[in-house]
A and B are shown apart, each in its own frame.
Chain A
């Protein structure tokens, strides 16, 4: 899949400006647990230690090879609305949009995240990326997830993702590979 994505979408579009520890868009890891942070301010996501501030935990209990793709401000250039990162292995393909929720406006941020995840999936499909052999999930990551009370529109958005992209739309801050 990594080669496939590189063929269709290339690599980091900001290499000349990058101050990232990992220069490319694709980070290969097999740690049993990963912590991902979105630094904001037009920087791409980065892998951090659990002593630092992070929003997303990736559980990889079997320590399989997986790839974290920095998408926003890295793989994609600014004219495409996109999610923050993709985490995939041979069977799972998870797109993640991280939203900081300490400043409120969760509803607006969720709807924005749905748009970003949707347009990232559209961009991948339009680029010819074949996701049919993967379990595809689009994940909205708030640092504190909250699924109560029920929201009709959130269910509608899940139904739309399933019918448009054959992908599950979820909300959470931990993904299990």
Chain B
């Protein structure tokens, strides 16, 4: 899945033009604007969440702008707006453009649905045009495709095809429109979740929410929205053995507990900070893994409170539960912001694992062997014994944000991460140690 985000003159951002895929990473020093970009991405991925009070298709008006600014306020980035701010987000589903203080929202899929509805008024004359339009949509939205096929031909479990297209009628087109509208609404409203750095805070406030409300404690809305998402989840048990042997999370009668053995457990708020930081990431991600549809997770600093190896294990766990978003209504997108050399190296290991699998496949091709499904799986299994997940470089982007600009740190030729600020920082530490050694040598010899 490809989307684009262009931002000019927004807070510390001067100009960035990002090509985004299924796994995205933003690195950069403090206050470089990487979190602002990640928050913008969350807001613009599901714009109907903030535009839900608007009448769609209405001309640009003040209330649209107000609701956009309110969304920025929810994420504490409204003061980043400047007179000459320009923001453009573009995806298969919609385009959003903020420029000259005006907001334009172009719901591309919705416009196609409106056209289908219009053409259906005179079905007999427009059948071929309708088939073409429905095909255009079903090529990019797999669940819509399955549903359309099911409406047209229940006996054929295939995807939408020329044979099933022949069953299209005015009535079932109306039914298809209903499905399209429902899916479109869901994708434009509920697909994006920002998992903030303050995530462990929700474990603490969960049981005191009424008191906090009563005392009007100002908690940023995006944190509350995130807390509500975690609360909605139907995940009741998570294996946390990657953090510590036998460790398990269980929701027991609505209470979050951490089990250190089968018999012994403690309250989540009593658990180590790493556990409190990891669970609010895993709960929504695993909840989506068990369901259909598409979701975009922006995970701010996944490394928080974690020992280096646990950071690596967390990335492997998150990526092994990510289903590739080949279609616009399927799988998930993970966008990470990080300062951690371990997170960056973990993702690089996953990229290299994918490359090694390809090398294994090619080595069999070179021997003039036809690569069977079993052989391919054997190669994958051998690699996954070392690294349990992998990322295709075509699904991956990585940017370093600094001095208001963004620069890709993915080497196009090798598909691996190239030199970057985090690695330079590691070397700066070594530089200082070298300088101290020199002084020490000089003074001990004098």
B-binding residues in A (CB < 8 A):
101-102, 104-107, 110-111, 144, 146, 148-156, 159-160, 163
Given A107-B419, A107-B423, A160-B416, A155 and B431 touching (CB < 8 A)? no
B window 355-377: CB within 8 A of A: 355, 359
Q: Quick one: which of B347, B352, B427 contacts A106, CB cutoff 8 A?
A: B427
Judging by beta carbons under 8 Å apart, are B423 and A159 in contact? no
Judging by beta carbons under 8 Å apart, are A154 and B423 in contact? yes
Judging by beta carbons under 8 Å apart, are B431 and A159 in contact? no
B307: Cβ under 8 A from any A Cβ: no
Judging by beta carbons under 8 Å apart, are A159 and B438 in contact? no
Complex CA distance for A157 and B437, rounded to whole angstroms: 28
Judging by beta carbons under 8 Å apart, are B435 and A153 in contact? no
Q: Quick one: which of A102, A149, A152 contacts B420, CB cutoff 8 A?
A: A152
Judging by beta carbons under 8 Å apart, are B417 and A152 in contact? yes
Complex CA distance for A151 and B428, rounded to whole angstroms: 12
CB distance from A150 to the nearest CB of B (A): 5
Closest-by-CB residue of A relative to B439 is A102
B344: Cβ under 8 A from any A Cβ: yes
B77: Cβ under 8 A from any A Cβ: no
Chain A residues, CB < 8 A from B438: 102
Judging by beta carbons under 8 Å apart, are B435 and A156 in contact? no
Judging by beta carbons under 8 Å apart, are B419 and A153 in contact? yes
Complex CA distance for A146 and B429, rounded to whole angstroms: 10
Judging by beta carbons under 8 Å apart, are A150 and B345 in contact? yes
Judging by beta carbons under 8 Å apart, are A159 and B352 in contact? yes
Chain B residues, CB < 8 A from A104: 431, 434-435
Judging by beta carbons under 8 Å apart, are B418 and A153 in contact? yes
Chain B residues, CB < 8 A from A163: 359, 414
B349: Cβ under 8 A from any A Cβ: yes
Chain B residues, CB < 8 A from A153: 409, 417-420, 423
Q: Contact flags (1/0) for B7-37 with A, using CB distance below 8 Å?
A: 0000000000000000000000000000000
Q: Quick one: which of B352, B418, B424, B437 contacts A144, CB cutoff 8 A?
A: B437
Judging by beta carbons under 8 Å apart, are B426 and A156 in contact? no
B433: Cβ under 8 A from any A Cβ: yes
Judging by beta carbons under 8 Å apart, are B352 and A102 in contact? no
Chain B residues, CB < 8 A from A150: 308, 341-342, 345, 426
How many residues of chain B get a CB closer than 8 Å to chain A's CBs?
33
Chain A residues, CB < 8 A from B347: 152
Chain B residues, CB < 8 A from A110: 427
5 contacts between A and B (CB under 8 A): A149-B341, A152-B345, A152-B416, A153-B417, A153-B423
Complex CA distance for A106 and B349, rounded to whole angstroms: 23
Complex CA distance for A152 and B6, rounded to whole angstroms: 27
Complex CA distance for A101 and B427, rounded to whole angstroms: 11
Complex CA distance for A154 and B437, rounded to whole angstroms: 24
Chain B residues, CB < 8 A from A146: 430, 433
B145: Cβ under 8 A from any A Cβ: no
Chain A residues, CB < 8 A from B434: 101-102, 104, 106, 144
Chain B residues, CB < 8 A from A154: 423
B411: Cβ under 8 A from any A Cβ: yes
Given A151-B341, A152-B422, A159 and B414 touching (CB < 8 A)? yes
B188: Cβ under 8 A from any A Cβ: no
Closest-by-CB residue of B relative to A109 is B427
Given A151-B423, A152-B345, A156-B348, A106 and B418 touching (CB < 8 A)? no
Chain B residues, CB < 8 A from A155: 345, 348-349, 352, 416
Complex CA distance for A41 and B418, rounded to whole angstroms: 30
Chain B residues, CB < 8 A from A151: 341, 345, 422-423, 426-427
- 10 smallest beta-carbon distances between A and B, as pairs: A156-B416, A107-B427, A151-B423, A152-B348, A104-B431, A152-B417, A106-B427, A146-B430, A152-B344, A152-B345
Chain A residues, CB < 8 A from B359: 163
Closest-by-CB residue of A relative to B413 is A160
CB distance from A105 to the nearest CB of B (A): 7
Q: Quick one: which of B416, B422, B426, B435 contacts A102, CB cutoff 8 A?
A: B435
Complex CA distance for A137 and B348, rounded to whole angstroms: 22
Complex CA distance for A63 and B259, rounded to whole angstroms: 60
CB distance from B308 to the nearest CB of A (A): 8
Q: Quick one: which of A106, A111, A159 contacts B430, CB cutoff 8 A?
A: A106
Complex CA distance for A102 and B440, rounded to whole angstroms: 12
Judging by beta carbons under 8 Å apart, are B352 and A111 in contact? no
Given A155-B345, A155-B349, A159-B352, A149 and B426 touching (CB < 8 A)? yes
